Structure 1
């Protein structure tokens, strides 16, 4: 987040307006001694982010709430529900995960994550997550260490799993969805890796009433159907959807391919407004959203697909001429030790999304159903 304020005789530094949180877009004087947002209590579960005027505290900002670094993380007391009976093994005889195994894998992940969060154990995370997800969680631990704050622990209750059949030459994976009414809906993607099963993607919708979640299609034996990133029969291929969504954010342009919402139209409009504010202060804004990692997809019962993808985004603010100074806020401020910058400042975030793509011929737009974002690094001079 960023502030931008006008110069006054008693306060020569300027800071940028918090971005990209639409609830804090007004120009205001930076406090003389800004302090980071307090972290949640070690012994008390984090409070649920309150909806803002754009519908959710999570978006479209890179770190949706002061506690966003763990928005996908456990927040509630443990409750268990016995998993359903295993579906029959695939008739082809190829390796196939059963429902019982999937519930066990996801449960062990949640328990391990809760312990690792309590200890801020960077090394332990390598046995729990992989790729961008691991980088994001480790970054959150680093921020918490620098801020000298604790992280909430616990597990999300009553997950449901969907397991696609084994595809020769590809890693096995499955999806676990947990919904705590009034708190959040969390969608985790677990994938097999050389060292074992790891979380590779996650996204959350923390609105009081999450958007409608499509039904995942299953065959007669209870398995879901995975789709390649170039799958046809949809309004756009999974990879095209991912690229179009990120291009809309990078260009700060509303894309009619997508339904309105916090991670689409509201985010694009916010960036337009933020660019205008910075220009008034003789600064410029450059955005970059790059697709990172594989694009995964499952067939939905309406003939469409649920698509998971990750990205690395960078926000670069540069002074056009000498004058205002930019001071970061939130996790990015912790990383730069709350300094003000006169020439440039950047923040890089990891981001993950889950999006429903309608079938070809449908008049419905694609709907982004959740996000997980975390600051990875920030710099300035």
Structure 2
């Protein structure tokens, strides 16, 4: 089970980063170095306690959607599958803290979780590109996103002389595609293929063209087994976050919503298994199964050319069977 909630926090290696250039006229950072440490420590403590009980409701104190919906579903899967809880600790953490005025505020972290499941001899590590957000003054900082980077995307963030990065507005121009529009382009590609209107701004890769091809192959295989799968992607309403990169582009966090519909002419062809476990009764699927999946993405968008989608985190969050 991927339980990122249970955390034992070591002393992290911190690197402050954030918005516009330094100087007296620059806005203040979203939070201080010490405050960022406390945010992660608070998350670690609360998520650890919630993980011990697989209590999704308790996560609401330290998470917000889409992360909250996805981790609640992961806890339901853990209870249904009776998987033992595995503590996780954050290591090698690097923080990127933007300068910004007003609210909501946010910051990002490049970090690695280390966990040793029961019976394992070596810990398993997973890299995350975390986003924490604060809705208003005095409100708690909440984990909003945690896609898994595909490589060294986070290291491409541009830092000013004071070690801060620059937040990029969702509707910013001067990019191959604005952060607010990349989700629509990605949804078009995954739903209709690389020739779909708007899909041409995305580079070929595992999370774009290869994912589309794999989905088509899965549909063919299911059809041969008497199951018809219809799927479509749409941009989720979750906020989009972006930081300026060294080449003048942007590193963008965004979310897609996938709708899956399975239909079988005969009984015994469908079952609530895999990632859907815990979201509907195991034997409820007779001839119909519908699921909603959230997919977090991390993309590098250049000033011109094609956006490269490198990181992701996918989790089914709802299922209905009949």
Instruction: Assess if the C-alpha contact under 8 Å between 1:333 and 1:339 holds in 2.
Output: no
Tell me what 2:99 maps to: 165
**Structure 2 residues without counterparts, runs of 5 or longer:** 115-123
User: Is the 1:355–1:370 Cα contact (8 Å) retained in structure 2?
Assistant: yes
2-side partners of 1:89 and 1:137: how far apart?
A: 40
- Residue 266, structure 1, aligned to residue 210, structure 2: yes
Moved more, 108-117 or 330-339: 330-339
* 1:227 partner SS: coil
Name the CA distance, whole Å, in 1 between partners of 2:13 and 2:215. Answer: 45
Gaps of 5+ in 1: 1-66
Task: Find the aligned partners of 1:90 and 1:339 in 2 and give their Cα distance.
Answer: 64
The answer to whether the aligner puts 1:185 opposite 2:116 as a matched pair is no
Range that drifts further, 229-238 or 284-293: 284-293
Contact 1:251 1:287 (8 Å CA) reproduced: no
Whether the aligned pair in 2 keeps the contact of 1:86 and 1:100 (CA below 8 Å) is no
Aligned-pair CA distance for 1:346 = 1.6
Provide the rounded CA distance (Å) in 2 between the counterparts of 1:295 and 1:119.
31
CA–CA separation in structure 2 for the residues paired with 1:268 and 1:85: 37
Is residue 321 of structure 2 the alignment partner of residue 368 of structure 1? no
- Name the counterpart of 2:166: 225
Partner of 1:15: none
CA distance in 2, matches of 1:240, 1:86: 25
Q: Deviations over 1:40-92 (max 9, x none)?
A: xxxxxxxxxxxxxxxxxxxxxxxxxxx3x43x5568x7532354589989645
Q: What RMSD, in angstroms, separates the aligned Cα atoms of the two structures?
A: 2.9
> Which residue number corresponds to residue 117 of structure 2?
none
Correspondence for 1:112 among 19, 40, 46: 46
On the 8 A contact 1:281/1:324 being kept in 2, the answer is no
Contact 1:258–1:264, Cα closer than 8 Å, also in 2: yes
| Corresponding residue of 1:131 | 65
Aligned match of 1:247: 188
Q: Residue in 2 aligned with 1:315?
A: 260
Report 1:32-111 matches (<5 A).
67=1, 69-70=2-3, 72=4, 78-81=9-12, 83=14, 91=25, 96-111=30-45
TM-score where L is the length of structure 1: 0.71
Q: CA deviation at 1:323?
A: 6.8
Aligned partner (choices 242, 246, 259) of residue 301 of structure 1: 246
Give yes or no for the alignment of 1:150 onto 2:90. Answer: no
CA contact (8 A) 1:309 1:354 kept: yes
Distance in 1, matches of 2:146 and 2:24, equals 27
CA contact (8 A) 1:114 1:155 kept: no
Match of 1:60 in 2: none
Give the superposition deviation at 1:322.
Answer: 4.5
The alignment covers a number of residue pairs equal to: 303
User: Hey, what's the Cα distance between the residues in 1 that align with 2:320 and 2:273?
Assistant: 12
What secondary structure sits across from 2:230 in the alignment? strand
2:13·2:93 contact (CA, 8 Å) conserved in 1?
A: no
Check conservation: 2:104, 2:133, Cα contact below 8 A. Answer: yes
Q: Which residue does 1:291 correspond to in 2?
A: 235
> Residues 325 and 340 of structure 1 are in contact (CA less than 8 Å); yes or no, is this contact kept in structure 2?
no
Deviations 1:191-212 (A, max 9, x none): 003531001111114xxxx423
Check the 8 A contact 2:88/2:113 in 1, yes or no: no
**Cα drift, residue 345 of structure 1:** 1.0
Question: Could you state the TM-score of these two structures normalised by the residue count of structure 2?
Answer: 0.83
Tell me the residue number matched to 2:120. Answer: none
Matches within 5 A, 1:20-31: none
CA distance in 2, matches of 1:162, 1:156: 16
User: Which whole-Å CA distance do the structure 2 matches of 1:173 and 1:126 have between them?
Assistant: 17
Aligned twin of 1:63: none
Give me the whole-angstrom Cα distance separating, in 2, the residues matched to 1:231 and 1:86.
20
CA deviation string 1:136-166 (max 9, x = no partner): 1112212222233233212211211111111
